[in-house]
Amino acid sequence: MGDHKKPKYKYFKRDISWLSFNYRVLLEAKDKSLPVYERIKFLSIFSSNLEEFYKVRVSGYHSSLVEAIKEESVEEALKTLSEINNEVMQQEEEYYRIFNEEILPELKENDIILYQSDDILPFHRNFVTKYFNEEVFPFLTPMIIQKDYIHSFILDARIYQVISLLSRKNKDVAPDPSEYTFAIMKIPYTKVPRFIELPSHEGVHYIMFIDDIIRANLSSVFPGYKIGDCYSIKISRDADFSIEEEDYTNLAEKILKKVRKRKIGAVTRFQYDKAMSDYFLKYLCDTYEIEEEELLPSGRYLNLDDLMNLPNPTNKKLTANLPAPLRIPEFEKNSSLLRVLRKKDVLMYFPYQSFDYLIRFLMQAAFDPKVLEIKVTQYRVAENSAVINSLISAAKNGKQVTVFVELKARFDEENNYLTAEAMQQAGIKIIYSLQGLKVHAKLAYVRKRSKDPKVPIKGYAYLSTGNFNEKTARIYSDMGLLTSNQDIINEIDELFHILEGKEQTHKFEHLLVAQFNMVPALQTMINKEIAHVENGDKGRIILKMNSLEDKKMIAELYRASMAGVEIDLIIRGICCLVPNQSYSKNIKITRIVDAYLEHSRVWYFHNNGEPTYHLTSADWMSRNLFRRIETAFPIYCEKHQQQIKDMLTIQLSDNVKACTIDENLNNIYKVNNKPKVRAQQAIYHYLKKETEQEG
């Protein structure tokens, strides 16, 4: 793979790079061109992303430092943890500044006031007292905190209020902190909403945090005390786990046990209102054994991913107006999708085009008498999934249905297990996770009866960059190919044999499959581009993906850059490649964050004027390339190749939502004098125009 000693390559730390991405999400909340509830949505996404980051990634820097982060020493891991916490504190300061100084005033301009206090206006006092007594008080379970005694367990990701109380007998104006009693109380989030709409007054709508409704009524909860201070706290706990290699008997049962233990995992973050006194904070840390590196000061309100549910009590349009998904002319002209696929491949672009066609494809396969068998990989599916319902229909219609269920899909383990049980009851054959590997490939395969003995395997396939999930297909940007290409069908059949543990030849000439031929094929394609440049021709690579982390593959890109290959990377999230170095001067990084989550993965290699195009489920992360089953599938149809090239060109031309990443991980907006291009809107209009021409 080339000599990497000269020069010494630099790589960004994975988790610091991820924080740069999450800051880019936060920048959307600052964008005054967006409707206010769209900006609030990005505040919510930022918080939600950070919560998962602390549960999964930061957990590795705590208790099991050396085991969890094999490349780093304990000292280096602690240094990285400090860098993470410092960056997060800066980002959260910016977060609360945007919330308080930009979002709240804009809501007020639209006649919506979100209370930021428990100091209630006179015309709301009766309502708030009545609401508290009837809807909240019955579910509160306050407990006194006693440092040296058994104390309550703080659940993961729940908001608690901690209260300082003073005996009514105490007459001191400024009592000594040691005279306070401290109490803790969980906000009953399952019983009451986070935001309560209060009666409107003189045309203005009022919303109140449930936190403040409780604060305003604390004297009812602690009748024998004077109320001192009340602050919110929250603990994030380690939610990551692994199953030992030899531990694969009763896998489903073991995973479910570990999932349920997430709620009591080790502390990775202790968030608290930074207004809290030092004495109060120290008392809590001593009681709950919180370490200094776990402390993260925050604002008055925690768990602001709840902002996704902030009511809009006005009739004003304050949210983004996303266009309805486009119809696909080939499928609209013909009621049988399978008949269309016998003649041509169809490439689908979500969410610009409707996901309904995939449901229709599976449902028609379920009822087609010539169809014998359906096989699908399941990584993440929607609850009450229409995809799963169509597979159950197929089984009830006498088709052989096999579903490979990846139980190790993080945070979807339980949903996947319950879905698998429902499928099993309907007669579907379920195959669970492979030992030591996650199956991340997105495949569906429909086998039909073949009259030709020379072609025993015939049918249709669906290959995708994203999950079989109709819910996320409305907000994730992905691509999927429906095909009856015999070469691809044969290789998908081969891949399912591998998943089923059957004997197989492992010959893949069209599909690129991680664990088998994916990495060598990528290295060959990169080497070809280098060779073309050395021969005086053009070398060009465009890679679009969510994450670029694997150092071996980054080193290959550095090597290609030094040889003069022009490389454009469109990376949404983690990017460990450092631009603007002598060895990366021909590499540009673009990051796009907009209304839809950029999720498709595309590989374009110029190949001396005969370009190759692959769509794939795989990011260039070590886990995807070496510890998962992933697929990349070729696009052979010239029309589809042109569409993909056009869309990559549109994304690289974006000068509204695109940022470049510099050598300090800054997100620098692409600003130029060219006509404004907002890639997601431009792609929609591009596809709409094509639809109208074909329609």
What is the per-residue pLDDT for 246? 41
CB 161 within 8 A of CB 230: yes
pLDDT tens-digit series, residues 88-138:
999 999 999 999 999 999 999 999 999 998 899 999 999 999 999 999 999
Angle formed by the axes of helices 14-29 and 36-56, nearest 10°? 160
List the chain domain ranges.
Answer: 1-110, 121-198+207-304, 329-501, 518-694
Residue 411 has pLDDT above 70, yes or no: no
Secondary structure, 3-state, 349-411: EECCECCHHHHHHHHHHHHCCCEEEEEEEECCCCCCCHHHHHHHHHHHCCCEEEEEECCCCCC
Pick the CATH number of 121-198+207-304 from 3.30.1840.10, 3.40.50.300, 3.40.50.10210, 3.40.50.10090: 3.30.1840.10
What is the per-residue pLDDT for 4? 46
Residue partners of 521: CB distance under 8 A and separation at least 6: 512
Euclidean distance between CA atoms 448 and 371, whole angstroms: 4
Count CA within 13 A, CB hemisphere, residue 405: 26
* Rounded mean pLDDT, 312-318: 89
* Rounded mean pLDDT, 60-84: 66
Euclidean distance between CA atoms 55 and 583, whole angstroms: 35
Residue 313 has pLDDT above 80, yes or no: yes
* Rounded mean pLDDT, 576-605: 97
Structure tokens, 662: 């510099």
Residue 248 has pLDDT above 50, yes or no: no
Residue 474 has pLDDT above 60, yes or no: yes
Q: Identity (one letter) of the amino acid at 194? A: R
Angle formed by the axes of helices 679-694 and 638-653, nearest 10°? 150
* Rounded mean pLDDT, 24-29: 98
Q: What is the mean pLDDT of the chain?
A: 89
Euclidean distance between CA atoms 370 and 319, whole angstroms: 47
What is the per-residue pLDDT for 240? 61
Q: CA quadruple 142, 145, 149, 154: dihedral positive or negative?
A: positive
Secondary structure, 3-state, 65-79: HHHHCCCCCHHHHHH
Q: Is 440 marked active-site? A: yes
Residue 33 has pLDDT above 90, yes or no: yes
Residue 418 has pLDDT above 80, yes or no: no
Which DSSP state fits 153? P
Euclidean distance between CA atoms 414 and 417, whole angstroms: 5
Q: Which of 495, 409, 379 is nearest to 445 (CA)?
A: 495
Residue 71 has pLDDT above 90, yes or no: no
Euclidean distance between CA atoms 583 and 567, whole angstroms: 12
**What is the H or E stretch that residue 531 is in?**
helix 518-534
Active-site residue (options: 440, 532, 599, 640): 440
Residue 415 has pLDDT above 80, yes or no: no
Which DSSP state fits 9? P
* Long-range CB pairs of 239-246, under 8 A, 24+ apart, other chains included: 239/52, 239/55, 239/56, 239/59, 239/156, 239/265, 239/410, 239/411, 240/55, 240/56, 240/59, 240/60, 240/410, 243/408, 245/435, 245/436
pTM of the model: 0.90
> Which residues are 94's β-sheet partners?
none
What is the per-residue pLDDT for 55? 82
What is the per-residue pLDDT for 572? 97
Give the CATH H-level superfamily of domain 1-110.
Polyphosphate kinase N-terminal domain (1.20.58.310)
* Rounded mean pLDDT, 415-441: 78
Give the three-state DSSP class for 554.
Answer: helix
Euclidean distance between CA atoms 538 and 563, whole angstroms: 11
Identical fold between 1-110 and 518-694: no
Torsion-angle region of 13 (φ positive above 0: left; ψ -120 to 50: alpha; else: beta): beta
Structure tokens, 514: 């991680």
Q: Does domain 329-501 have CATH number 3.30.870.10?
A: yes
What is the per-residue pLDDT for 253? 59
What's the farthest any 2 CA atoms get from each other in the chain? Answer: 97
Give the three-state DSSP class for 340.
Answer: helix
Residue 231 has pLDDT above 70, yes or no: yes
**Structure confidence at residue 245 as a pLDDT band (50, 70, 90):** very low
What is the per-residue pLDDT for 695? 67
**Structure confidence at residue 293 as a pLDDT band (50, 70, 90):** confident
* Rounded mean pLDDT, 139-153: 82
433 or 621, greater pLDDT: 621
* Rounded mean pLDDT, 42-69: 76
pLDDT tens-digit series, residues 342-369:
999 999 999 999 999 999 999 999 999 9
If one looks up domain 518-694 in CATH, what number appears? 3.30.870.10
> Which residues are 162's β-sheet partners?
184, 231
Q: Which of 347, 342, 294 is nearest to 63 (CA)?
A: 294
**Structure confidence at residue 263 as a pLDDT band (50, 70, 90):** low
> Which residue, chain included where needed, has tokens 């000061």?
297
What is the per-residue pLDDT for 262? 46
**Structure confidence at residue 627 as a pLDDT band (50, 70, 90):** confident
Q: Identity (one letter) of the amino acid at 186? A: K
Residue partners of 472: CB distance under 8 A and separation at least 6: 380, 382, 466
* Rounded mean pLDDT, 231-255: 64
503 or 234, greater pLDDT: 234
pLDDT tens-digit series, residues 195-227:
999 999 999 999 999 999 999 999 999 998 999
What is the per-residue pLDDT for 416? 67
pLDDT tens-digit series, residues 668-694:
999 999 999 999 999 999 999 999 988
Residue 545 has pLDDT above 80, yes or no: yes
Angle formed by the axes of helices 14-29 and 74-98, nearest 10°? 0
> Which residues are 482's β-sheet partners?
346, 462
Over pLDDT 70: what percentage of the chain? Answer: 89
CB 446 within 8 A of CB 364: no
* Rounded mean pLDDT, 611-621: 97
